[in-house]
Structure 1
């Protein structure tokens, strides 16, 4: 349950900023729209540095890689579409794996690329941040920085 709360907190949009109920200005569970910016059929790619990590996710399969494991580890994830983004949760080498993907300009600080998604990753007690993109929503900048 704690994992679900972590992802929900990362993905929740500030409800006071929304105006889905024109008569009252209040967002209810019935009127809120969950994030649909990355379809289950799309491949989400993600990267981060310090430490370096990356991978991709399609449907309920995610591959997580590091310089020590360049081929990556494949894990099964559950998808959660929140109000502000997409959550992916699973288990990696016995540790909880929770990723939140939210729309917003992102820089990996290592290239001249700009990405359309910010990625927040928590593996066990270790937190990391990075960037993400899909074919439908690609990064801008050099193909090979």
Structure 2
């Protein structure tokens, strides 16, 4: 039985190593499973860029390959390293994106969801995405568009 277990673990290690060549693999210790992120598969991975705007209070976020940057007139600019978004299981990739933003002592979440129309409440412009940003205990809602 121990030989079968060792053989299974060895086979899993070989398969995992093989997959690592084609995709970014990380172990999610909190949930106990492997996450395979095809967005990191090779140098041709496309980074989608977004501009997100919110009103009352005014704030914005830019998503680009150089980072995810939050700013508002009332607070200092917060810059997070770019991370590939998570997508909803069993849904089209363009429907919802969830970015887990990590900085110094800061765990924040940015969600971008495709909608028929999002209004910022200040202009006549309709945006194709809505956005929710959670910074600590603050929840902000806004609208987004591709850059």
TM-score range, shorter chain: 0.5 to 0.7
Query: What is the alpha-carbon distance in structure 1 between the residues aligned to residue 46 and residue 130 of structure 2?
Result: 18
Shift of 1:89: 1.2
Bigger relative contact order, structure 1 or 2 (CA pairs below 8 A, ≥6 apart): 1
After the TM superposition, list the runs of 4 or more consecutive aligned residues in structure 1 that deviate by more than 4 angstroms: none
Match of 2:122 in 1: 110
Query: What is the alpha-carbon distance in structure 2 between the residues aligned to residue 97 and residue 40 of structure 1?
Result: 23
Query: What is the alpha-carbon distance in structure 1 between the residues aligned to residue 141 and residue 131 of structure 2?
Result: 6
Counting helix residues as a fraction of each chain, which structure ranks higher?
A: 2
Unaligned runs of 5+ in 2: 1-27, 32-44
* 1:53-72 alignment runs, 5 A limit: 53-59=59-65, 61-69=67-75, 72=77
Query: What is the alpha-carbon distance in structure 2 between the residues aligned to residue 86 and residue 134 of structure 1?
Result: 13
Number of paired residues?
99
TM-score between the two structures when normalised by the length of structure 1: 0.58
Q: Does 1:81 align with 2:87?
A: yes
Assess, with a 3 A threshold, how the Cα gap between structure 1 residues 111 and 92 changes in structure 2: closer, same or farther. farther
TM-score between the two structures when normalised by the length of structure 2: 0.58
Match of 2:52 in 1: 46
Instruction: Flag the structure with larger Rg.
Output: 2
Greater shift in the superposed pair: 105-114 or 56-65: 56-65
Shift of 1:69: 4.7
Greater shift in the superposed pair: 44-53 or 59-68: 59-68
